[in-house]
Structure 1
Amino acid sequence: FPVKVEMLSRFRSLSEQKDIVDKVNNGTVDICIGTHRLVQKDVRFKDLGLIIIDEEQRFGVAHKERLKRMRSQADVLTLTATPIPRTLHMSLAGVRDMSTIETAPEERLPIKTYVSEFSDDLIREAILRELDREGQVYFLHNRVYNIEYMAEYVGMLVPDARVGIAHGQMSEDQLQKSMMEFTHGRLDVLVCTTIIESGLDIPNANTLIINRADNFGLAQLYQLRGRIGRSSRRGYSYLLIPRARSLTEAADRRLRAMLAATELGSGFRIAMKDL
């Protein structure tokens, strides 16, 4: 096809970024696929006609307004499993058109979700069960300052597992290396932060363990759970809460909602609860 496509993100070198931005600004790039890097001030599309925002919940209002200011007449299509309250309200009020996809991909199975107190035995059993079927595991620990300790802890619980780390404060090269090793099956368990929340599609990873699940929002928990069960295999999600500590009423409601929203395509209902 006579179309020039480029990709812009922090994983490109500075010289590559400058070259792509120049091409975008002078109109020689027809389609530019990118991260938040696309909303930086040096990016000025020559003739912007269509904006497609995937994983819309990851972009703030300021980001989206910046995109629209680039070309006031641009058409905007936003995609998300869990619409943010502002977008959902605009759709319900008739300001925006909304379409919903209610049919899951063929052979997909609902994800089994469990809420439990933090338990070494449960973590070990969940990881070993996944490894027995030659799958992979996400262990989400959203604290960078001691994530290496947690990775060592998981490695101690399951000595046979190959454990890696991924978080947003790693250098581009380190992060890319960890993610590629996990993607290609050279790691069994990825101890990570919410950096995995959007955009990952690894069909062989079908167990998710979230430490301190009581600290996460409802839509965020749903998005994280969406990283698993992306094949014909059953996914298992374990939401861990602290021992001997009472949950806040809001956290209790969020976890109960996650247990109730087990069928495929529950994101819209989750978003309505948030609204």
Structure 2
Amino acid sequence: CGDVGYGKTEIALRAAFKAVMSGKQAALLAPTTILVEQHFETFEERFEGFPVKIAMLSRFVSAREQKKVVQGLADHSVDIVIGTHRLLQKDVAFKDLGLLVVDEEQRFGVKHKERIKELKATVDCLTLTATPIPRTLYMSLVKIRDMSQLSTPPQNRLPIETFVTEFNEDIIKKAISHEIERGGQVFFLHNRIESIHIPASLLSRLFPHLRIAVAHGKLTGDELEVIMHDFIHGNYHILISTAIIENGIDIPNVNTIIIDRADLFGISQLYQLRGRVGRSDLPAFAYLLYPESHALTEKAAKRLKIISDHTELGSGFKIAMKDLEMRGAGNILGAQQHGDILAVGFEMYVKLLNEKVRELEGKVDEDRMDELYLELEYSGFMPDSYITEPLEKMETYKQIASITTPEDFDRVYTGIEDRFGPMPEELSSILSIAEIRILCKKLGIKSLREKQGQARIEFLRVSQISADKVMRLIRESGGKVFLNSHEPACIFLKTGSIGLKEKSVFIKEKLSGLL
């Protein structure tokens, strides 16, 4: 999972090269003919000088040439094939397929993906996307599928300024004029072929001196190829297009996109379309237009708000998470790729689902039964001078909160120091609480509450604690550890008004004496 323009294609190139050099074949599946052609040109250029035969399968390729490619895949004279859904047809058979790359995975349905699995049971599969569909994202979060994230933006990349507004000729005129004046080009997206002549007429009237092209899926392969080639090479100022430009098109000189009827698009579609601009070091602009005096549905308004709120670099994964919360995780065993989580939130939904599954299996959730209540008087925190980014802070707090074993503790501690440097005392104190939590779990402690310099420790099962160890701890503590006859399941510690670091050491030392 990598954001738009973060180098997913580069990873695909290198993976395919490794597969071919190991004597295997590689296949790259892409959703549109334009994207397939662009990948084909990139692969041809990068593999120049290597003994690698690359072929393309799409409607741009003649039937005679397609037959040759299919034969080449069967006898291994073709090493890498790049194609659309044509790759999934029954007549396509590989002699020794080693790697399958699925680009823009969110554009393929479950049936297509099941057909992909049939290609070969032992094939390695790499899927590339900026905004994984809810079901795929959920499957990765619950470890059914592995997911890696590309989180480093290209050098000098700037966030795309996003405007959500009613359709307005003045806004359109101002946006296009600004882009043309700085020597750039413009995408104008209208996703209805039958009415695409309306924006074409409007823009011709507003800008009679500019060269305007129209591209859509009903054009022949040759016509589309000529238009895209001319636009890429700067022969047109404006390209009016359907969503055929949604995936992977890389034209650094285009830095303004205007999307008509943005309210009709899904979240990942809007995000992909916005990603067609901003691929250079210039400021880029996206205008999401909805009809004048037209009441937006609640879901459409929510989608547009999510897109306008998430404009920072690397926000594709966050948008996918929002999409997951809005639409649900879908049916893991069936064909539905989304489904309602309603208002409970994703993490609570997953927790409830897992608890119900365990209940139906007749398993007792020990962790749930032994859940610890920990309440200490302390003022530990994460200094801004150590971790500056709020999101990274939240992620680090979350990692600390998830520690349940000594192995978890070592992993998190080492990870924080490797990433941010030597740990300050304030953060080290917070990690000490995680150590106390581990000890409490080992001893079967139900709660540890501190109030006014005194900690009350309540055990879930007193029978599991050695009476000899308790008595020795009381004797050796010098009056700092004691019992209360009214609460036989508890022991008490006098913590006084010492600092968190000393307090943590004191509590850990006393609890360790009971192990």
TM-score (norm 2): 0.53
CA distances 1:29-81 after superposition (whole Å, capped 9, x unpaired):
11111222211221111221211111111121111211210111111110100
Q: Choose from 238, 245, 260 the match for 2:294.
A: 245
Structure 2 distance, partners of 1:266, 1:231, is 18
Alignment of 1:124-143 (within 5 A): 124-143=173-192
Equivalent residue number for residue 113 of structure 1: 162
Considering fraction of residues, name the structure with more helix. Answer: 2
Q: Choose from 266, 269, 292 the match for 1:217.
A: 266
Paired residues, what number? 275
Contact preservation (8 Å) 1:47, 1:71: no
SS of equivalent residue, structure 1 residue 128? helix
Q: Deviation of residue 122 (structure 1)?
A: 0.7
Q: Deviation of residue 211 (structure 1)?
A: 0.4
Q: Choose from 96, 99, 103 the match for 2:148.
A: 99
CA distances 1:175-231 after superposition (whole Å, capped 9, x unpaired):
111111111100110000000000200000010000011111111100100000001
SS of equivalent residue, structure 1 residue 57? helix
Alignment of 1:134-213 (within 5 A): 134-213=183-262
More off after superposition, 214-223 vs 25-34: 25-34
CA distances 1:97-146 after superposition (whole Å, capped 9, x unpaired):
11001111001100000011111111111111000011000000001001
Contact preservation (8 Å) 1:5, 1:32: yes
Structure 1 distance, partners of 2:286, 2:211, is 20
Structure 1 distance, partners of 2:106, 2:170, is 35
2:115 paired with 1:60: no
Structure 1 distance, partners of 2:156, 2:254, is 16
2:232 paired with 1:232: no
Equivalent residue number for residue 42 of structure 1: 91
Identity of paired residues, percent?
Answer: 57
Q: Which amino acid aligns with 1:203?
A: P
Return 5+ residue gaps in structure 2 as ranges: 1-49, 325-515
Q: Choose from 255, 261, 266 the match for 2:315.
A: 266
SS of equivalent residue, structure 2 residue 144? coil
Q: Deviation of residue 148 (structure 1)?
A: 2.1
Equivalent residue number for residue 8 of structure 1: 57
SS of equivalent residue, structure 2 residue 257? strand
Structure 2 distance, partners of 1:50, 1:75, is 5
Q: What is the root-mean-square deviation in Å for CA atoms of aligned residues? A: 1.0
SS of equivalent residue, structure 1 residue 245? coil
Alignment of 1:76-91 (within 5 A): 76-91=125-140
Return 5+ residue gaps in structure 1 as ranges: none
Q: Deviation of residue 19 (structure 1)?
A: 0.6
Structure 2 distance, partners of 1:67, 1:26, is 20
Q: Deviation of residue 3 (structure 1)?
A: 2.4
Structure 2 distance, partners of 1:33, 1:177, is 20
SS of equivalent residue, structure 1 residue 11? coil
Structure 2 distance, partners of 1:81, 1:160, is 37
SS of equivalent residue, structure 1 residue 138? strand
SS of equivalent residue, structure 1 residue 49? strand
Structure 1 distance, partners of 2:226, 2:53, is 28
Structure 1 distance, partners of 2:180, 2:81, is 39
Structure 2 distance, partners of 1:149, 1:250, is 27
Q: Which entry has the higher C-alpha Rg, 1 or 2?
A: 2
Structure 2 distance, partners of 1:171, 1:7, is 17
Structure 1 distance, partners of 2:262, 2:192, is 12
